[in-house]
Amino acid sequence: MAKKRIIWHLLPYYILIIFLALISVTWYASKAVKDFHKKDISRSLEERAGIVSMHLSSGFAGLTSAAIDSLCDEYGDRSEMRLTVIDPGGVVLGDSEEDPARMENHADRPEVRKALSGSIGISERYSGTLKRNFLYVAVPLESENIILGTVRASIPLTEVEGSLSVMYRRLFIAGVVAALISAILSILVSRRISNPLEEMKKGIEHFEGEDLDYRIPTYGLAEVGELARVINDMASKLRNRIDTVESQKSEQEAVFQAIPEGILVVNSDEKIVRMNPGASKLLGLTPEEACGRSIQEVVRSQQLQEFVAETLSSDIPVETDFALRFGVESTFIQARGVTLNSVSGNGTGAVIVLNNVTRIRKLENVRKEFVANVSHELRTPVTAIRGFVETLLDGAIDSPAESKKFLSIIDRQADRMSSIINDLLLLAQVEGGEEAGSLRFEKTKIREILDDARQVCSVKGAEKNIIIEVDCDEDLEGRANPALLEQAVINLVENAVKYSEKDSKVTVKAFQENAYLAVEVIDRGCGIEPENQARLFERFYRIDKARSRKLGGTGLGLAIVKHIAGVHGGRVSVESKFGKGSVFKIRIPRK
């Protein structure tokens, strides 16, 4: 059912009040006018009857009934009223309208009785003679204080009622006009009240539509104007609060999206409410796939499911470590969970933070392996040096031939230990420079770097009668750290010389490959089995450990090459066929 507007609530009451007021005023006014009119006519009749009474009183005793009736006719015509003369016994002596002989005795008429008693009698009643309502006024007819009869004057009430009907019509017209004016005024007053309310309704609709900059007009009415001001102030404060909340929400959303750790928000039913990109990446799910579904549906990890359940049932933060398996790969997760509580303190869900510590775990393993490998690599020369030193101290020093032999071994082991330490220092320098950003890169001639590397390796090449040739355009340039790039080429050429047969050739090539600079070192050595190629650039990894130590390798050369290529924004790769040689390739951006 449609609700009425306020104007239609107020207007009927206004009209009803006006209608009742008009009826009351009209009734009272008409009654007052009617009474006033009757009193006025009564006074007029009294005066006229009194005048007739004065004329008749002087010679009343000598007048016959016919003379009295004639005088009534004469005075009645002049005064336009009915005159009646009645003796003390109630007999009608004369009448201006009827034959007295045919009229009944009037002694019982109230106005006549009162007039015969010496007072003025007034009465209003229906005349049986003339069949009309009359107003009667009777005055005593007396002479020398003796009542001789009464003179009665009367007038038909139809004349009074005619005059009153005219007055009633005028009152009715005036009432209708007043009612119309009042109705119009009521509508204007109602609109003066309803219009501000309509404006407030329109303003609130704007506020509902989030148009909080809209302002409701203020009106002259104190209460309405104050209400509009309060609503406008409320909208202004609401706008400020919404702006603050939206700013905070935007900041929180930016933080939520930017945090690299995975964040899951679950409700009390273990259903995922939100997740950030970090969680999507860790779990291999999109928010569209996960949100609104339980953790058991989307994540096949019993440890994570149990952790979510534990967090929801705990009043304190919960932490744990577990592994997520995707195929053969494992991702190590460090999880922390905390419950979300409502204002009343009841748990509404939980926030789960998933930190991928796989790289840290791998680095820890690498560190452990590195320490173990370094210890192992250094233990061998140190053990050898200590053993031969003890042998010398035990008396072998007295034998020149034995002393020279043992000292030569000690020298080789010390040289090997020095090489390991130098390679470790170089590796640390490359990694430290990369992390600190202190490595300098400059535009350099690549042919010069390759020639310098060939010159450094030429002595070892000459020992095996291996030819080292360079194939590079003189004008080829690239952005590089010359010292590091030269060291990488030296390591590759030394390896090629070391593992190549005598009287063979090692080729060093450099060329432009699209937007990259490529440096290849090609040997005709023994080659590398496919299963060993994947781990070839790990620290201290050797295919044939006995042969590598015999040839003087530290196991760090290719790891250094890998890091040098990495700091240049490139990578190193190998292509090899067992028994046919290998091609090591460094590929770095030219710019």
Same domain for 268 and 133: no
Pair 97, 72: CB distance under 8 Å: no
Q: What is the pLDDT of residue 546?
A: 44
Same domain for 446 and 427: no
Residue 291 is classified by DSSP as T
Q: What is the pLDDT of residue 247?
A: 86
CATH number at residue 403: 1.10.287.130
Same domain for 427 and 482: no
Residue 230 lies in a domain: no
Same domain for 273 and 313: yes
Residue 104 lies in a domain: yes
Structural tokens at position 383: 């053990």
**Helix pair 482-499, 446-463: axis angle to 10 deg:** 30
Tokens 């569209």 -> residue:
288
Same domain for 372 and 286: no
- The full DSSP string for 490-519 is HHHHHHHHHHSPTT-EEEEEEEEETTEEEE
CATH number at residue 519: 3.30.565.10
Pair 92, 85: CB distance under 8 Å: yes
Q: What is the pLDDT of residue 27?
A: 79
Residue 255 lies in a domain: no
Same domain for 144 and 37: yes
Q: What is the pLDDT of residue 1?
A: 47
Q: Could you state, in chain order, the average pLDDT of each consecutive group of 10 residues for the chain (591 residues)?
A: 61 75 78 78 82 76 78 81 86 85 86 87 78 84 82 80 74 78 76 74 76 73 75 83 85 82 87 87 83 85 87 87 76 87 76 84 70 62 72 72 74 69 65 56 86 85 87 87 83 84 87 88 80 68 51 65 82 82 86 73
Q: What is the pLDDT of residue 328?
A: 63
Q: Closest by alpha carbon to 499, among 474, 470, 521, 518?
A: 521
Residue 505 lies in a domain: yes
Residue 327: CA count within 13 A, CB half-sphere: 2
Whole-angstrom CA distances from 47 to 36, 38, 140, 389 are 16, 14, 12, 172
CA 458/CA 497 separation, integer angstroms = 9
Same domain for 471 and 416: no
Same domain for 315 and 278: yes
CATH number at residue 116: 3.30.450.20
| SS3 of residue 481 by DSSP | coil
| Domain finish residue from 378, 413, 435 | 435
CA 153/CA 131 separation, integer angstroms = 17
Pair 359, 336: CB distance under 8 Å: no
CA 272/CA 266 separation, integer angstroms = 4
Residue 178 lies in a domain: no
Q: List, in sequence order, the alpha helices (H) in 284-338.
A: 287-290, 295-298, 302-313
Residue 63 lies in a domain: yes
Q: Closest by alpha carbon to 137, among 13, 39, 241?
A: 39
At residue 357, φ and ψ (nearest 5 deg) are -105, 20
Same domain for 450 and 585: yes
Residue 245: CA count within 13 A, CB half-sphere: 6
Q: What is the pLDDT of residue 349?
A: 87
CA 492/CA 510 separation, integer angstroms = 13
- Our measurement of the distance from residue 558's CA atom to the centroid of its chain's CA atoms, rounded to an integer in Å, reads 58
| Domain finish residue from 408, 435, 462 | 435
Domain count for the chain: 4
Same domain for 444 and 333: no
Same domain for 452 and 406: no
Residue 131: CB atoms within 10 A of its CB come to 7
Residues paired with residue 506 on neighbouring β-strands, in sequence order:
468
Domain limits for position 128: 23-163
CA 567/CA 485 separation, integer angstroms = 10
CA 398/CA 396 separation, integer angstroms = 5
Same domain for 556 and 471: yes
Q: What is the pLDDT of residue 436?
A: 40
Residue 532 lies in a domain: yes
Structural tokens at position 263: 């964040």
Q: Record the pTM.
A: 0.44
| Domain finish residue from 140, 163, 186 | 163
Helical (H) or strand (E) element with 202: helix 157-208
Residue 109 lies in a domain: yes
Please, what is the average pLDDT of the chain? 78
Q: What is the pLDDT of residue 3?
A: 59
